[in-house]
Amino acid sequence: MASSSGTSSGSTLLPNSGSEEDLQLVMDQRRKKRMLSNRESARRSRMQKQKHFDELMVQKAQLRKENNQILTSMNFTTQHYLAIEAENSVLRAQMGELNNRLQSLNEIIQYINVGNNSFETVETLIGADSFMNPWNSLYLNQQPIMASAGHNSILKLLP
Q: Name the phi and psi angles at 68, rounded to 5.
A: -65, -40
Residue spans of the domains in the chain: they are 16-152
Query: Which residues, at least 6 apart from 149, have a Cβ–Cβ distance to it below 8 Å?
Result: 85, 86, 87, 89, 90
DSSP 10: S
Task: Residue 142: name the closest of 97, 109, 106 by CA.
Answer: 97
Residue 153's nearest CA partner among 90, 95, 99 is: 90
Give the torsion sign (CA, 21, 22, 24, 28): positive
CA dist 111 and 104 (Å) reads 10
For residue range 30-80, list pLDDT tens digits in order: 999 999 999 999 999 999 999 999 999 999 999 999 999 999 999 999 999
The per-residue pLDDT for range 73-113, each reduced to its tens digit, is: 999 999 999 999 999 999 999 999 999 999 999 999 999 98
